[in-house]
A and B are shown apart, each in its own frame.
Chain A
Amino acid sequence: MASWPESPRLIGTSIPRLDGLAKASGRAKYPSDIRPEGLLFGVLLSSPHASAKVKAIDLEPAKTMPGVKAVLALATAGESTIFYQGQEIAAVAAETEEKARDAARAIRVEYEILPHVATERQSAAEGAPKVFPTGNTRAARAQTTGKPDEAMQKADAVIEATYELPVITHVCLEPHGLTAHWKGPDSITVYASTQSVMGVANDMVENLGLESANVTVLTDVMGGGFGSKFNADTWGIAAAKLAKEAGRPVRMFLDRAQEHQLGGNRPSAKAKIKLGAAKDGKLVAMVAETSGTGGRGGSNFPLPYVYKVDDRSRAHTEIFVNGGSARAMRAPGHPQGCAVMEAAMDDLAAKLGINPLAFRLANLAEADMVAGGVNRTDLYKEQVERGAKLIGWDRWKPRGQNGDGPIKRGLGLALHQWGGGGAQDKQVACIINPDGSVELRSATQDIGTGARTILAVIAAEVLGLEVGQIKSNIGNSTFPPGQSSGGSTTTPSMAPPCLDAVEKARDELFKRIAPGLDAKPEDLSLKGGKLLVKGEEKATWAQACRKLGMMPVTATGVFGPGLASTGVGGCQFAEVTVDVETGVVRVKKIVAVQDSGLILDMLTWKSQVYGGVIGGLNYGLFEERIMDEGTGAMLNPDMEMYKLAGATDIPEIVVDAYDTPEMRVRGVIGVGEPPTISTAAAIGNAVANAIGVRVPKWPMSPMNVLDALAAAEGKA
């Protein structure tokens, strides 16, 4: 049975990316760069209205415009209902993008404009227009454990507060889309910007009535997904249909506004929380009423989060609005659950007059067992201790004691958790060629995390080669089934079958060449690019492979027990300054302590944690979808008024890998999501610590900070 090497040469060190040169030189071809001969440009016409009936669509004016090769209706006159601004109406393919845009504009659509609800507030108003015939909300029954109301009576301190996070959008830098190229009447190759080549292939098969064998989806590199790019989507299928009609390849990518409007979003969250504790600092009860909107989709999030409250009730209500549907976004639900829980924890600690760090440690479950018999509470305790040291928590002062001038300084912390386990049904093929080249194949893809590099690290480790000698071929749906890039599952799903495949291929190589060396296969080993017989160098890798004659070695690897695990903790600390005159928050320092089992490549691992933290800083300080209640339109579907951090917003970030021998024996666990969960929560708590007032709404924008200060002074 395969197992990770005990004293690895490469695994766990910092290995540069295999795709670095292509990216730094500008030679990497993204799906939106692919330009097959005869390429046409696809443009999606989307609805300007948030709520409407499509009464008539006239494609004729577009069809006769210069350079237009195909036009397709995506809505049906007299039938289609528009639920959000940006919903798909029609698609055009033309010789140039400008001609396609002109043609899309020429399509005549008659709408019956209906009243809309663009925000949670509008949706909940009395007599509000209905998003669904059944209404604008769906309330779930309260989930109750123990006797929260009774227990709350015994609390020495109770806080009751409402915390809110807005809808945010993914803002992948490469928009959603694909290039569709028919290779014959019933055979298609698709270059998709996707986090699931298999998902897109499946969508093509189902929507176009093609045989699986005739669909190839390729994703060499892609420009970000964050949970929003698992499928071909309406526009991707439209591109394939337009390409068929025109008899030429079609490239169809959303523009930036469409990207915000229909490329997916993270649901909002609102939590009215009553949380009580005894004076010894133990939580006694929680009663929470929560809600959120995912457009027409769900918005639930975990609560309580991390901490143990035996007596609790929680009721969640889905609110529907005329907005684009939510999609999975980096650790779905967790940043929201973490932010509201950690805010309540901090406010209660302040009320009790207890150091918030001690209060948290006092309220972890005694045994929070995760896979492999690991007690996550023990992890948290050590992680919090490490984080506290790195941020300098001994400088922490209670609220209201953090500066006499207008600039206040504050510290905050938050804890998070995630699964990060993998699937057990994925495969990797390993091919060792007689010329010494080594190829790995799987239908997974690199969303930017370094998946390609990580598979090569494993192969190089086993074969005693350098990482650059391994050809890591992923991003092809026709290869052995691979994992979608989501849920922090890619590495734990793909690393075990990769190890298995390479070990099998190595063993087969030994079996085939041993007789020619007058040795037994078990006498052979590989080290430093050499073949060893009983520990003695006998041939170079290339010479050894040449002994294969014309027949390569091929092996397919599958999952093996003990190579991957699931269940991580982690904590983050933030230090901020807040100008109480302007409401401007500056993050000065963030400490992120993160476990994730066996770390395969420390370099790409750290990149993930940095990215997660700064993503969380974005949610904490800047990001917000702003809807216009009057028109139902998104007011900031761009990258100007939809604020994102730039280089000057980045604080000192300390990434501390909780990389202990106990963690390494757990095997591989994914890390894409956990480090983005608690950043916004920690920033919110640091702001409250600085200014002595809870800012109950994210982001920590000047407006929300000043509103909270004004409310505290009774001015709002």
Chain B
Amino acid sequence: MGAEAAVRFTVNGEAREVETDPDRTLLDVLREDLGLPGTKYGCGEGQCGACSVLVEGRRMNACRTAVSKVEGRSVVTIEGLAKGDELHPVQRAFLEENAYQCGFCTAGMIVAAVALLEANPAPSDDEIAAGMDRNLCRCCSYPKIVKAVRRAVELTGGGAR
């Protein structure tokens, strides 16, 4: 473990400062230091996508991101997508389509879908599948997940956010 240092970044719109080993993973800092356990540990290797968060609007695997890498940047987690009680359209779409069973992959799926729609507000079915391909669901709810992303496109009228 290295020496502790202050790392400053924005989480869900709020400025945060964490005194920590800068090599710790963003996932660990979010879950354990900042009280945001919605982002999950699945594989620890950036292969399953359960730890997906948005960094400056782009999807990153928090389990493979040192917290020092987000210094001065903006991080959004599943907890930060809703505006108060109003869910993000992608969350509403997952809810409408019941696109989960156990739900452990869901936070990562939703964040990945938000990033996908940010980059491509009106994706084709193939583009949705390709965009979601790096997130694994062991309950295998993929048909409903893809449907939910399609529904999110409808809800946003092709313009996410």
Contacts and interface: CB of A to CB of B under 8 A. Distances in A.
A499 interface: no
A647 B35 CA distance: 31
A699 B130 CA distance: 23
A640 B143 contact: no
A96 B67 CA distance: 15
A633 to B, nearest CB: 17
A463 B26 CA distance: 48
B43 A639 contact: yes
Contacts of A450: 101
A644 interface: yes
B95 A224 contact: no
A97 B20 CA distance: 13
Interface in B99-144: 100-107, 110, 128-130, 132-144
A607 B95 contact: no
A448 B103 contact: yes
B156 to A, nearest CB: 16
A1 B146 CA distance: 44
A603 interface: yes
Interface residues of A, number: 61
A516 interface: no
Contact of A448 (B39, B48, B79, B102): B102
B9 interface: no
A256 B142 contact: no
B91 interface: yes
B160 to A, nearest CB: 16
A582 to B, nearest CB: 19
A172 B101 CA distance: 12
B110 A24 contact: yes
Interface string B11-55: 000000000010010001001100101111111110110100000
A639 B133 contact: no
B60 interface: no
B103 A647 contact: no
A640 B142 contact: no
A20 B98 contact: yes
B47 A647 contact: no
Contacts of B141: 607, 610-611
Contact of B94 (A24, A33, A617): A24
A25 B82 contact: yes
B139 A25 contact: no
A24 B142 contact: no
Contacts of B31: 33
A17 B103 CA distance: 11
A147 interface: no
A142 interface: no
A611 B21 CA distance: 40
Identify which of A24, A97, A224, A618 gathers the most chain B CB atoms within 10 Å of its CB: A24
Given A16-B98, A650-B143, A33 B28 contact: no
A27 interface: yes
B1 A650 contact: no
A118 to B, nearest CB: 23
Interface in A1-54: 16-17, 19-30, 32-33, 35
Given A648-B129, A648-B133, A222 B102 contact: yes
Interface string A194-230: 0000000000000000000000000001111010000
A71 B21 CA distance: 23
B47 A639 contact: yes
B153 interface: no
Identify which of A22, A639, A645 gathers the most chain B CB atoms within 10 Å of its CB: A639
Contacts of A173: 40, 42, 48, 50, 102, 104-105, 136-138
A647 B50 contact: no
13 contacts: A19-B103, A24-B91, A24-B106, A35-B35, A173-B104, A221-B103, A223-B104, A255-B44, A617-B140, A639-B43, A639-B48, A647-B129, A650-B142
Given A25-B82, A98-B28, A610-B144, 5 more contacts: A29-B37, A33-B38, A97-B32, A224-B138, A647-B128
